[in-house]
Structure 1
Amino acid sequence: MAPASLSAPHALSLLAPPRVASGRRRSLSVPVAVWPVTGVSVAAGRRLVAAAAATEMAPAASEEEGKAFVEEMRAVAMRLHTKDQAREGEKEPQAPPVAKWEPSVEGYLRFLVDSRLVFQTLEDIVDRAAVPWYAEFRNTGLERSEALKKDLEWFRQQGHTIREPSAPGTTYASYLEELSERDPQAFICHFYNVYFAHTAGGRMIGKKVAEKILNKKELEFYKWEGNLSQLLQNVRNKLNQVASSWSRQEKDHCLEETEKSFAYSGDLLRHIFT
């Protein structure tokens, strides 16, 4: 099932990666991604893709193949930001900045519950490792389901009702399960974007929400054991190692899934400000 909307404002915006003739691609060296907060129509995204492909000189194929694949994944994500969020952003803002959101505890709890289901699903998939190299991503230190379990218990102790996951969470979890069986490259795109977005823009959003409704309490969701930068680098290394055996077509297919990854994650984040 497709995400509810591809044009409404959400945490991750939509735009397929640029493609150019003869299998070449534009330079993809950019800073670490953060979590954008707006959307764009698919048609508008395609126009931006065409413009980018027409105006930039692509590197030689040999240069591209020698590049770490995570750099390509990060570059695609960065281009999905708005212009005020990142230097490489290509979108116009269509939603108020995070600082102006007016979150509610109820909405935030829906976001946390659905997020826990998604993270638990990702962890279960790599634990089962129906595709052998999924096992490379077990016990990375980025896992979030247990941290979210503790946070939800804390809210329960404060007297809040913890409801069952809602449609955005169950829909995304089902989609991840399906992808993991039939389309491992697309699944890895979601794995990368969910975990890395949470450590960047996700943390910023969590801090702003805590300031507004939680008296600045820092949830376990935003804490990691060990050095987070090193944990992230370890996962980057694993992603690059796994992708080194993929064909160029498989890599491109992975990158093209970014649009859906952002849309599904955005549906979850929308709980906070609706």
Structure 2
Amino acid sequence: MPRKESVIIVSATMAEKKRHPGESKGFVEEMRFVAMRLHTKDQAKEGEKEVKEPEEKAVTKWEPTVDGYLRFLVDSKVVYDTLEKIVQDAAYPYYAEFKNTGLERSASLDKDLAWFKEQGYTIPEPSTPGLTYAQYLKDLSQNDPQAFICHFYNIYFAHSAGGRMIGKKIAGQLLNNEALEFYKWDGDLSQLLQNVRDKLNKVAEEWTREEKNHCLEETEKSFKLSGEILRLILS
């Protein structure tokens, strides 16, 4: 009997590992795995999602407009302003770990919007996608820290990867290859990202498995809200 019991325990442990791919490498790898599955095949080789919305097509197939792109930048700034204020105010002590990471984008977006204004463009007011996401982040940051961290991770890391591809596409197609500040970082971006990965992994070490799962389950909501802002580029 004891031997049979130990086999059951080992099997259960293995099953648990299978439920959380990337777990052995740290929690950020778990978040990355879940996020990649929510991409389409056009967006990432690990993607599993069917293409349903215009922004889910490969960036090479996009037909952006300058007006739509400006709406995207304005709404993105609302979200980054909110994220940076949440981290500065640190309703939960570990939010303070993410102050001044070098990934902040709000000041860069200020410069880009000023540049567009100098070119004669009218800067639009923030719209529903950005305002809705910002309010959602404020609420989460107070009441659901694990879910908030999911959004924090996905927003910053998505911009450093797919976001840069989008920026390059739009610069080439609409802005005469003008490189915006939104896509520039001070220092080595890969090192800045690694520093934040390390901090995220350290924070998650204090979480229960249930709290980690709750964070992972928020990924789909993160993609939905970010996708609504991304869609503005094509409007």
Q: TM-score, normalised by structure 1?
A: 0.77
Give the helix-richer structure, 1 or 2.
2
Query: Aligned-pair distance for 1:23?
Result: 4.8
1:155 aligns with 2:116: yes
Tell me, in whole angstroms, the C-alpha distance in 1 between the residues paired with 2:120 and 2:222. 34
Query: Aligned-pair distance for 1:83?
Result: 2.3
Residue 127 (structure 1) aligns with = 88
1:85 aligns with 2:43: yes
1:137 aligns with 2:98: yes
Q: TM-score, normalised by structure 2?
A: 0.89
Tell me, in whole angstroms, the C-alpha distance in 2 between the residues paired with 1:91 and 1:176. 25
1:113 aligns with 2:106: no
RMSD value, Cα: 1.7
Query: Aligned-pair distance for 1:22?
Result: 6.9
1:199 aligns with 2:157: no
Aligned-partner residue type, residue 218 of structure 1:
A
Secondary structure at 2:233's aligned position in 1?
coil
Residue 166 (structure 1) aligns with = 127
Query: Aligned-pair distance for 1:84?
Result: 3.5
Query: Aligned-pair distance for 1:27?
Result: 5.6
Secondary structure at 1:193's aligned position in 2?
helix
Residue 239 (structure 1) aligns with = 200
Contact 2:43/2:58 (<8 A) preserved = no
Tell me, in whole angstroms, the C-alpha distance in 2 between the residues paired with 1:162 and 1:110. 8
Residue 28 (structure 1) aligns with = 21
Query: Aligned-pair distance for 1:196?
Result: 0.1
Tell me, in whole angstroms, the C-alpha distance in 1 between the residues paired with 2:49 and 2:94. 35
Give aligned pairs, total.
220
Runs of 4+ in 1 over 6 A off after TM superposition: none
Secondary structure at 1:271's aligned position in 2?
helix
Tell me, in whole angstroms, the C-alpha distance in 2 between the residues paired with 1:260 and 1:125. 19
Tell me, in whole angstroms, the C-alpha distance in 2 between the residues paired with 1:88 and 1:105. 31
Q: For each residue in 1:93-123, what CA deviation from the matched residue of structure 2 results, as whole angstroms up to 9, or x when unmatched?
A: 3444322222111110000000011001000
**Residues 22 and 102 of structure 1, relative CA distance in 2, 3 Å threshold:** closer
Tell me, in whole angstroms, the C-alpha distance in 2 between the residues paired with 1:71 and 1:269. 24
Which 5+ residue runs of structure 2 have no aligned equivalent? 1-13
Which 5+ residue runs of structure 1 have no aligned equivalent? 1-20, 30-63
